[in-house]
């Protein structure tokens, strides 16, 4: 590991907006619930005094945190948490959040499949999945972030969506149309209601920005894809309370 990365990792340990699982050797191994991210389970909404009533919003596979930062700026009353396992990527987003003074933006270094260890059932209002690896080979389906095993995790963490459209939302942005179509099918099968979808988001850009400006936030990768002429697909699905009752 490079010296620069080691320095960054040490810096993040001191930053208030970064959470990493820590181990207690004195207890024979395992997580320290008091100071690690598991100690925040069920309490993420209390992390920021300025975030009142906006709920908890996650970006999964956040990379350098472009979308996490954009969501935190756009949703000042929400606690926004970017999740990624790559510490070097998180450093960039966490550093930018501190420089911008975004006190409602946080970063969690963890694998997506471990989210139930850190978030309580029904604690999350929105989940954003932005430009994940599509894993086109059939043998890698279980690695897709919209595969059935991951959707079951999201299903537990998300609040049921109220009839006013708040809560329980799962968003996807991707430049892979095949992955988009796969995600639509699997989300429906998992009991999510598709409330908005398009295979050309910026073909309806004006309407998209008017209805939900968060859809128009662009990551570094997204800007690159658009410059290459690729179309961006978008899906919003909701975990409706009536669907939970039926299931």
Give the mean pLDDT of the chain.
86
pLDDT of 35: 55
Answering whether pTM is above 0.85, one says yes
CA 83 from chain centre, in angstroms, equals: 6
- Return all residues near 153 (Cβ < 8 A) that are at least 6 apart: 112, 113, 115, 116
Condensed to tens digits (0 to 9), the pLDDT of residues 15-39 reads 999 998 865 444 454 544 445 687 8
Residue among 194, 183, 180, 188 at smallest CA distance from 231? 180
**60: nearest Cα among 120, 140, 128, 4:** 128
- Position 26 scores a pLDDT of 45
Question: In the chain, what percentage of residues exceed pLDDT 90?
Answer: 65
pLDDT tens for residues 40-73?
Answer: 899 998 888 776 778 999 999 999 999 999 999 9
In tens, the pLDDT along 211-228 reads 678 999 999 989 999 999
Report the pLDDT value the prediction gives residue 13, as an integer from 0 to 100: 86
Q: 19-28, 38-47, 101-110, 234-243 — which is least confidently predicted? A: 19-28
Q: Give residue-wise pLDDT tens across range 158-178.
A: 998 654 455 689 999 999 999
Looking at residue 162, its pLDDT comes to 54
Quote the pLDDT of residue 37. 80
């Amino acid at each position: 590991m490079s010296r620069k990365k080691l320095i960054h990792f040490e810096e993040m340990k001191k930053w208030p907006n970064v959470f990493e699982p820590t181990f207690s050797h004195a207890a024979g191994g395992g997580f320290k619930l008091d100071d690690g991210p598991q100690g925040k389970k069920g309490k993420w909404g209390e992390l920021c005094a300025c975030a009142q009533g906006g709920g908890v919003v996650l970006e999964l596979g956040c990379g350098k945190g472009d979308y996490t930062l954009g969501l935190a700026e756009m949703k000042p009353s929400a606690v926004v948490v970017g999740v990624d396992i790559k510490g070097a990527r998180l450093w960039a987003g966490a550093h930018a959040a501190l420089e911008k003074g975004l006190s409602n933006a946080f970063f969690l270094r963890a694998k997506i499949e471990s989210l139930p260890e850190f978030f309580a059932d029904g604690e999350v209002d929105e989940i954003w999945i932005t430009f994940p690896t599509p894993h086109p080979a059939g043998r890698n389906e279980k690695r897709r972030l919209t595969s059935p095993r991951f959707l079951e995790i999201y299903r537990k963490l998300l609040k049921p969506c109220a009839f006013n459209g708040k809560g329980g939302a799962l968003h996807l942005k991707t430049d892979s149309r095949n992955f988009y179509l796969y995600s639509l099918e699997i989300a429906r099968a998992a009991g999510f209601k598709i409330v908005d979808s398009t295979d050309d988001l910026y073909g309806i850009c004006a309407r998209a920005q008017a209805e939900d400006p968060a859809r128009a936030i662009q990551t570094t990768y997204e800007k690159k894809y658009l410059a290459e002429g690729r179309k961006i697909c978008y899906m919003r699905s909701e975990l409706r309370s009536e669907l939970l009752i039926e299931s």
